[in-house]
Amino acid sequence: MTAISAVSAEPAPILRGRFYWARFLHRVFVALMYLFILCPLIVVVWLSFFKDAILYFPPSGYTLKWYTKAWANQAFADGFVFSLQVALLAAVCGVVIGMLAAVGISRYRFRGAGAVNTLLLSPLLVPGIVAGVAIYLFYLGAENFFNMDIVGTYGGLVVAHVCLTIPWTVKLVTASMSGLDPSIEEAARNLGANGRVALLRITLPMLRPAIVASALFSFVVSFENLELSLSLVGPGHTTLPIAIMQYLEFTLDPTIAVVATVQIVLLGMVMLVTDRFVKLSQVV
């Protein structure tokens, strides 16, 4: 028995060694994939500190003067504030409308529910430049019909961005609602809660992670949008992506990398805060 047990226990160190090397190679592969994904962001942040106005490798030195120049550029400052306002308003409106639409599609069965869901998700299938031209032409027709200005107005731009944000909310909230147990709402109604109370106190708290994620995606999509905004902004107003594009028409220096770095930091902070909020809501 002793010899048999010794023979059977002998391969254990070999197996542990193989598992160790397998785990090691797996971690190396994952680290390389993360590095490959983050490499463009790292390079952009690195370029923002280059001393030379003409970009080339290796740089002759590093400086912070481009951050001062970007801050002093009024077009970037105004574009940042304007994009922030549009993105926040579009995200709020899109999340509210998309959440109500997703709840209606998921909880209430009616004829044409699939067609409505497809219609709400259709902006994800249309290229941005095509959608921008289509909305621009639609606004021109609406202007002639209602005899009022729509193209180039703040309201017209926000409405167009809301059309971009609604599909993300519908998609995420619908997917989240498919995993909820309807018996929880039924139990609340059996205890005397009406539909509105059950929605506000039962359904929405369970959908909090999906709603927060929808708000994040909506904000990012609206803030970074160029194609749709290009034909809808009015004179004297411009979004940050358009300001960057106009700057690149005449100048190519690290100032653009500075503006991109600020966007990366801002959106990264939003994602970290949102991820933390979603995890805390799931624990609670």
Residues 103 and 206 in one domain: yes
Residue 53 domain flag:
no
Residues 119 and 255 in one domain: yes
Residues 125 and 181 in one domain: yes
Residue 54 domain flag:
no
What residues pair up with 62 in beta bridges, in sequence order? 50
Residues 88 and 209 in one domain: yes
Residues 31 and 88 in one domain: no
Q: Can you give the CATH number for the domain in which 154 is found?
A: 1.10.3720.10
Residue 228 domain flag:
yes
Kindly report the pTM of this predicted structure. 0.77
Residues 32 and 142 in one domain: no
Tokens of 79: 């574009």
Question: What pLDDT sits at residue 78?
Answer: 87
Question: For the chain, how many structural domains are there in total?
Answer: 2
Q: What stretches in the chain show pLDDT beneath 50?
A: 1-10, 281, 283-284
Residue 64 domain flag:
no
Residues 245 and 138 in one domain: yes
Residues 21 and 74 in one domain: no
Residue 212 domain flag:
yes
* Residue pLDDT, tens place only, 64-94: 888 888 888 888 888 888 999 999 999 999 9
Q: Of 134, 131, 156, 128, which Cα lies nearest the Cα of 234? A: 156
Question: What pLDDT sits at residue 87?
Answer: 92
Residue 29 domain flag:
yes
Question: What pLDDT sits at residue 7?
Answer: 47
Range of the domain at 16: 2-47
Question: What pLDDT sits at residue 26?
Answer: 82
Residues 36 and 86 in one domain: no
Beta-carbon contacts of residue 168 (< 8 Å; ≥ 6 apart): 94, 98, 214, 217, 218, 221
Residue 59 domain flag:
no
- 284 to 106, 173, 197, 275, 281: CA distances (angstroms): 24, 19, 20, 14, 5
Residues 38 and 172 in one domain: no
User: For 77-227, where are the E strands, in sequence order?
Assistant: none
* Residue with token string 């579009």: 90
